[in-house]
Amino acid sequence: MKNPEAQQDVSVSQGIRVMFYMMKPNETSFRTLEEVPDYVKKATPFFISLMLLELAVSWIRKGKPPGRVDDSLTSMSAGILSRLPRLFSRSIELTSYVYIWENYRLIGLPWDSPWTWYLTFLAVDFGYYWFHRMAHEVNIMWAGHQTHHSSEDYNLSTALRQSVFQVYTSWIFYSPLALFIPPSVYAVHLQFNLLYQFWIHTEVIGNLGPLELILNTPSHHRVHHGRNRYCIDKNYAGTLIIWDRIFGTFEAESEKVVYGLTHPINTFEPFKVQFHYLIYIWTTFWATPGFFNKFSVIFKGPGWSPGKPRLGLSEEIPEVTGKEVPFSSLASQLLKIYAVVQFALLLAFYEDTFADKAALSQVTLLLRVCFILLTLTSIGLLLDQRPKAALVETLRCLVFLTLWRFGHLKPFIPSLSLAFEGSVV
């Protein structure tokens, strides 16, 4: 067995290979769950590096960036929101899995066997396919997953636009694996499956030839993110596109894809992006007569209403013309630069909080999370040009000074400490 202390380190070579599911069984097999590195947390530098590379390639090829500042900030804000619960507890995808493994497992496959590793790769990817498919076909699950589809751009930042509460349903589809696959092996592949899907969110990579037959690729996933009629409910794959080919949900990329929800939400406010559809379900539930109809509002497809098939009618999906104009912020360029700077500072603060969470008190952690939420909200309000945006931003700055004064956070440039002291005194 490897030294548990050494296993917490992920080299640059491993970090790059992790993003493409190119790790080997002998370097990613661990006896216990505690020894498994947090590959997702350690991937932040690689996320940023690949986004900068995508920016450079797009600028060289097309003379423009691959997306818009407002949309990218919103996507990355959603990514931060989705990870905040991890500051307080282990993911339910792991806690539920461990509970089943410890109490109901039928057999225990060897954790250090390559056969177990490859079987888990297939099993997790198969589970993801069915979770992803149900997230499009069950309304209450779509309420979480729609966050990821709400971007009207398609670039690497879109991959980070994750739901806060999607994990509270996804665990169900992986739980059968706990009957025989050790938690440590499962935890590795759960992360690898997620990280693989980062690089396929781009328009700078075209058709990949024979790889398109087996792997989920940028071309296949562009179709999945489209709101064209031919794109709806297609290509649910995580890593392997073979599941879509087997179960009849595959569609090749043909006409130009228009991205986003069939009914765009037209906002950059992070909480609206996350929760607006839950509010829609709530109001629809109470407005729909009959117990079984109310039940169907929750558990049938997003397009269902009384008298329609389970998944709704395809002819009711709005046609796209190719001339759709994505919703954009009316904020000035100067204000957008300000938002980018504040977000960059917040990202550093977010990383610092995760790095120091073991040494921070629960009160400090809670206050830091509240400050992160306030900052993301303020940035969204500024981009949406809401009337109270300036007031909220002023409040946020005052909260920052207060938290710093009482030792709950710190400026990242040490030389700024004197300036903050002067401003508080």
CA proximity to 226, closest of 252, 187, 193: 252
C-alpha span between 147 and 135 (Å, rounded) = 11
Residues above pLDDT 90, as percent of the chain? 88
Residue-wise pLDDT for 184-219, tens only, equals 999 999 999 999 999 999 999 999 999 999 999 999
**Weakest-pLDDT range from 50-54, 150-154, 352-356:** 352-356
Average pLDDT over residues 148-154: 98
Return the pLDDT at 423: 39
Return the pLDDT at 281: 98
Return the pLDDT at 404: 87
Return the pLDDT at 11: 85
- 24-41: b (≥16 Cβ within 10 Å) or e: ebeebbbeebebbbebbe
Average pLDDT over residues 35-62: 94
Residue 415 has pLDDT above 50, yes or no: no
Please check whether residue 369 is in contact with residue 361, taking contact to mean a CB–CB distance below 8 angstroms. no
Return the pLDDT at 10: 81
Average pLDDT over residues 228-240: 97
- 144-168: b (≥16 Cβ within 10 Å) or e: bbbbbbbbbbbbbbbbbbbbbbbbb
Please check whether residue 159 is in contact with residue 48, taking contact to mean a CB–CB distance below 8 angstroms. no
CA proximity to 259, closest of 154, 148, 379: 154
pLDDT grade for 388, boundaries at 50, 70 and 90: very high
Return the pLDDT at 407: 82
Please check whether residue 66 is in contact with residue 203, taking contact to mean a CB–CB distance below 8 angstroms. yes
**Type of residue at 43:** A
Q: Where are the alpha helices (DSSP H) in 24-90?
A: 39-42, 44-62, 69-83
Residue 422 has pLDDT above 60, yes or no: no
Average pLDDT, the chain: 93
The three-point CA angle 329-335-339 to 5° equals 85
Distance of CA 83 to the CA centre of its chain: 9
Tokens for 114? 């390559």
**Weakest-pLDDT range from 210-224, 233-247, 322-336, 409-423:** 409-423
Q: Where are the alpha helices (DSSP H) in 84-176?
A: 92-104, 114-137, 139-149, 167-174
C-alpha span between 213 and 234 (Å, rounded) = 15
Return the pLDDT at 8: 55
Residue-wise pLDDT for 269-299, tens only, equals 999 999 999 999 999 999 999 999 999 999 9
Average pLDDT over residues 357-366: 92
Average pLDDT over residues 335-358: 94
Q: How far apart, in Å, do the first and last CA atoms of the chain sit?
A: 55
Return the pLDDT at 412: 55
Query: Strand pairing partners for 240?
Result: 215
